[in-house]
Amino acid sequence: MLFAGIYNKMMGWAAHPHAERYLVGVSVFESIFFPVPTALMVAPMAMARPERAVRIALIATTMSVLGGVVGYYLGYFAIHLIEPLIEDIGYWDKYMTAQQWFAEWGFWAVVVAGFSPIPFKLFTLSAGALQMALMPFILAALVGRAAHFFLVSLAMAWAGPKMEPMVRKYIEWLGWLTVVLVALLIYFH
């Protein structure tokens, strides 16, 4: 039972006394370079501790925006050094999409980035590279990230404990279905 073990481990980490510290690190680094979305930590934490859902969302939002500011400055001052890395790790097309969104929508591109499948870090780097004004960037990141993390956290706090027995029962099926869907997405992308 591969996915049952992973699921139990993730739920254990989510309920760990230091889980909020880990969330701080994941939230900051995900906005700069870390490949794992913060929501993957927010969801089980809110399900494991529903009474802390608002606090979890606040931590994720604040630290993600802080990391976004670091990403912004990296884009502003060092995009010429970062672009080859973006291309090497296979994010070039998504980076170009982020650039296009900025050209079309500016401020709103950062707000929408909170919900897009394009990694947020590409928007933070793009905002700096395109020299978007810092305060509008911070405001847009705050709105987009807060909407995203509060939605995930509060939904999991409300529905998660009710759904947890069903998720636990079907975790192997759900896990393998996810693997197949990701493989198909990669194949057809």
Q: In this predicted model, what pLDDT tens digit does every residue of 44-92 receive, in sequence order? A: 889 888 999 999 999 999 999 999 999 999 999 999 998 998 888 888 8
Give the range among 59-68, 92-101, 157-166 with minimum mean pLDDT.
Answer: 157-166
More confident residue, 60 or 109: 60
Q: Where are the domains of the chain?
A: 16-161
**C-alpha–C-alpha distance, residues 45 and 149, integer Å:** 12
Q: DSSP H helical segments within the chain, as ranges?
A: 2-14, 19-30, 39-48, 53-88, 92-105, 107-113, 120-129, 134-169, 171-188
| pLDDT tens, residue by residue, 123-143 | 898 899 989 999 999 999 999
pLDDT tier, 167 (very low <50, low <70, confident <90, very high otherwise): low
On the CB side of 1, CA atoms within 13 Å amount to: 11
Q: How many Cβ atoms are within 10 Å of 183's Cβ, its own excluded? A: 10
Give, as one character, the DSSP assignment of residue 119. Answer: -
